Amino acid sequence: MVELARNAAGRRVPVIVNGCQQIPYLGIGKYQARGHKAGPPVRSNKDYPENGDKRLPDLQTALLRCGLCDGMVISNHHHLRDGDRVALMALEAAAKLGAKDLMWFPSASFPAQKNAIDLMQSGVIHHIEGSMNGPLGDYCTQGKMRGMGVLRSHGGRWQAIQDGEVHIDIAIIAAPTADPFGNADGSHGRSACGSLGFALADSMYADFVIAVTDNLVPFPCIPWQIQGNNVDCVVEVDSIGDPAQIISGTTQITRSPDRLQIAEFVARFLRDSGIMRNGFSFQAGAGGIALAFVDYLRRMMKEDGVKARFVRGGSTRYLVEMLQEGLTDYILDGQTFDLDAVKSIASDPRHVPTSPLTSYNYHGKGNFASMVDAVVLGATEVDVNFNGNVVTHSDGRLLHGIGGWQNCLFAGCSILAIPSFRDRIPVIVDEVTTLTGPGELIDVVVTERGIAINPDRQDLVDAVKGSSLPIRPIQDIKAEVERICGGKPAKPKLGDRPVAVVKWVDGTVLDTVWQLG
C-alpha cells in the first residue's frame, strides 16, 4: 500500500514516488528551494578525439561507449513530435544490448512511440517519467506500468534535472543537423523542427550525450543550439523522423462556429480590458482556437494601431506573419509548429529560440512566463474554483501531458479558452478529476456561452465593465451547460492505487492520477 498525504490543495498524494521521498504541494510560492544545482561529471579533453570527430557507427556502439547498464535513465526530447524515430530506435538498441529496467525520461511521448509498451512488457523499460500523450498514458492509467508516472511541465522538467531530482545517465538528442563534434541545430535539414530547447537541459546535465542526425555537416554546425562541448558521440542514421509528422497537424484554424466564437471572445477580452496596448505581449499555442484567436487579435491590433513587444510561440505561420507585418518586435519561441515557422526561425534574427530555462524554469532567477501579459490555454476540465485539468479526461484516463501549461499560468492574465462541453460532456465541473493548475492562478475562463472572470481578479472585472462581452459567473455557465448535456459528467471509476503524479512547477506533488477501477 502506498502511503498518502493530503497536500495544501486538499489532494491525496503519495509520499514516496519510485523510491524517492516527495514533498506534497504547499501552495503557490510556499516551497523554499534549497541546495545546489546538479553538477555533472568533470570530463577532460584528453579523453575525446583532438580532431573533434566523435562519430560512432551506430546507436548500439554509442550506448556501449556511454556505459549503458540496467536501471539507467535514458532521455529524449520531443521536438520531432509524432514523427520522431530516434527515441524508439535508441530504446530498441538498448533492448538488443539486453538492458533492463530503464527509466525512460522523454520530454514528451507520442502515439508513434506506442511500441514503448512492448518494451515495458518485456522489462526493458521499467517506467516513464514524462508527458504521455495517448496510448502510453492510457497504459499507465490501466495500472500496467511497473513504476509510477511522473508528469512535469516543461519548466518542471528543467527544474527536476537542474535540481538533481532526475539524474540522466544517457541523453539521446535527435538532431536535424549536426557536425562530427556534436554541435546540433534544429532549424536546418530535411527533418528540421525549429528549436531544440527541450533537449538543452539534457545536454547540459546528463552524464553522457549522444547526438543522432540524418544531416551531418562539416564543423561548425551553425547555429549550435546544442553545444558539442557537452556531447560524447555522434551517430548518423538514415532518418531521424517523418517530416510530415514532425510538423504538427494542429495548425489549422478551427472551422467550428462555437470555437470561432470562443476565439473572438478571447481577442475582444484582451482588447476591451486594455491588455492589448502598445508594447504588450501574449502567448498562444497551436490548437485551432488559439490560432483563430491570433487571427482575430491581429485584426484588432491593426484596427487600433497597436504593436506588441513580443509574442511567444509555439510558433506558426500566424505569428510569423505578425512579425513580418511589424505587429511584434520579436517571437520568443519554444516550439516550432509549421514549416513557415521553421523557415522563419532559421533565417530571421527577430525569431528567437528559447529554452525551458529562459521561459519556464521556476527555480531560476525569474523566467519569461511571468512577464507575458496574457496567455491563452486549453484544458480538459475546469472547476467552479477555477482549478484546471489538462492531463486526464473526466473518465479518469491519462491522455495528455502538461507541456508549458502550468508555467504559463504565471502570466499577467491566464485565460482558458475552452468549449463548454465536448461529446456532450460538460467541461466545467464541480471539482477537476486531476488538479493540474491551482485556481488562484487561472484568471479567466472563456467559453462560447460566456466569459467567467476569477473573482480574485477584481482588476479584470473592473477593466471590462461596460464592454459588450458576455461576462457571467462560472456557476451560471456551468448550470446552463448541465441543462444542455443532461446533467453533470459521470464520476470516473477510479481505484485507490496511484499510477502517476502531477508535479507542480517547484517539484512538489500537486495531485495523483489513479488506476482506473
Interface contacts to a copy of itself, rule CB under 8 A: 29, 31-46, 48-52, 54, 162-164, 181-182, 209, 218-220, 222-224, 227-232, 279, 309-310, 330, 332, 349-350, 352, 357-358, 361-368, 370-371, 410, 506
- Least distance CB 434 / a copy of itself (angstroms): 24
- Least distance CB 39 / a copy of itself (angstroms): 4
Nearest to a copy of itself of 191, 328 (CB atom): 328
Q: How far apart are CA 286 and CA 278, in angstroms?
A: 24
From residue 44, alpha-carbon distances to 48, 66, 216, 230, 384 in Å are 7, 15, 25, 11, 57
Nearest to a copy of itself of 231, 398 (CB atom): 231
- Least distance CB 194 / a copy of itself (angstroms): 16
- Least distance CB 403 / a copy of itself (angstroms): 18
From residue 309, alpha-carbon distances to 28, 282, 329 in Å are 28, 9, 5
Do residues 499 and 143 touch, judged by C-beta distance below 8 A?
yes
- Least distance CB 381 / a copy of itself (angstroms): 27
Q: How far apart are CA 323 and CA 337, in angstroms?
A: 16
Nearest to a copy of itself of 198, 224 (CB atom): 224
Nearest to a copy of itself of 310, 514 (CB atom): 310
Question: Cell digits for 144?
Answer: 500496467
Nearest CA among 256, 78, 258 for reference residue 157: 78
Q: How far is CA 93 from the centre of its chain?
A: 27
- Least distance CB 233 / a copy of itself (angstroms): 9
Q: How far apart are CA 45 and CA 152, in angstroms?
A: 35
Nearest to a copy of itself of 311, 474 (CB atom): 311
- Least distance CB 511 / a copy of itself (angstroms): 21
Nearest to a copy of itself of 44, 468 (CB atom): 44
- Least distance CB 51 / a copy of itself (angstroms): 6
Nearest to a copy of itself of 119, 204 (CB atom): 204
Three-state SS at 491 = coil
Give yes or no for a cis peptide into 220 (omega within 30° of 0): yes
Q: How far is CA 197 from the centre of its chain?
A: 11
The set of residues, in sequence order, having a beta carbon less than 8 Å from that of 320 and lying 6+ positions away, is: 331, 340, 341, 344, 351
Nearest to a copy of itself of 34, 255 (CB atom): 34
Strands 4-6 and 12-14 turn out to be antiparallel
Q: How far apart are CA 227 and CA 104, in angstroms?
A: 23
